[in-house]
Amino acid sequence: MMSERLAVKLPGLDLKNPIMNSSGAVFFGLEDKGYAIEETGALVTKTVTMSARAGNPQPWIINTPSGILNSVGLANPGIEAVVADILPAIHEKYKTLPVLASVAGETVGEYVALTERLTATKQVTAIEANLSCPNVDRGGMAFGVTAESAAEVIHAMRAATTLPIYAKMSPNVTDIKPIVKAVETAGANGIVLINTVVGMSLDLNTRQARLARGTGGMSGTSVHPIAVRFVYETAQTVSIPVIGVGGVSTVDDALELMMAGASAVQIGTALAGNHQVMADIIRELPSALDKYGFSNVEEVTKTFKK
């Protein structure tokens, strides 16, 4: 049966298929924009912080010939509003769909507090720790760029919840392998990567950066080969599942990330141009499996070895 061919079972995530949105791509999935979230394997929330955030100055999203640059700055309503209003609304709308709640803190203590609040709601299935955020206790360096700081966050979160924890990693590092190994040892149940690649775009007429903040996160089809490499290196390093994200816009893109070692795939930037892209890929998966000689999606993940 098709459902059996596409199903993937991950820690805390019983997926009917391996396709889901990436954090921020559909906000909290409550607006009727035709994303067909109910057809996907899981809903990933917008990254939640302790306090509400308005985000960075505009412009914070620009198009480039290579993809999209953004410096949105984790704009979100804050944990209080998410717990009181948004999670109940998600539960009412999507019923049994697994919910992967993304969190970000400026300190390890904030990650712990967010984890405790979300766990207490009993309305999320797993937690995704966005480790690309600046650590204010360490001079603003992103948590995910060193093994020590990344592991510190996951270790503290692990002590605060029984929910599965997925560590979302930054590609802006020299070597991802020791970092993902450290978060695995610290108690992560899975790895999500990649987050956006730091980039910049300049306006030749104004002599200014096109983003108000200067630099931003690059996403879109141009980062896909980077994502494939990071997924492959991570899958060869850890024994916990990997969720791949980065430049997926076709069923072949999704299968390529899975062949590199991802058990599931998140889609972000492509949704801006085609709200139905997740549904399209899910619909095309069975014939793509036939085309490439796979009996099911789990077989794709096990295919490519170093």
Annotated catalytic sites, by residue?
A: 133
Gap between the Cα atoms of 175 and 37, Å rounded: 34
Half-sphere exposure of 103 (CA within 13 A, CB side): 33
* Sign of the alpha-carbon torsion through 135, 81, 219, 250: positive
Q: What does the DSSP 8-state code read for residue 213?
A: T
CA atoms of 165 and 182, how far apart (whole Å) = 14
User: What angle is formed at CA 288 by the lines to CA 27 and CA 271, rounded to 5 degrees?
Assistant: 20
Instruction: Round to whole Å and give the CA distance between 5 and 283.
Output: 12
Read out DSSP for 84-113?
A: IIIHHHHHHHHTT--EEEEE--SSHHHHHH
Q: Are strands 99-103 and 126-130 parallel, antiparallel or unpaired?
A: parallel
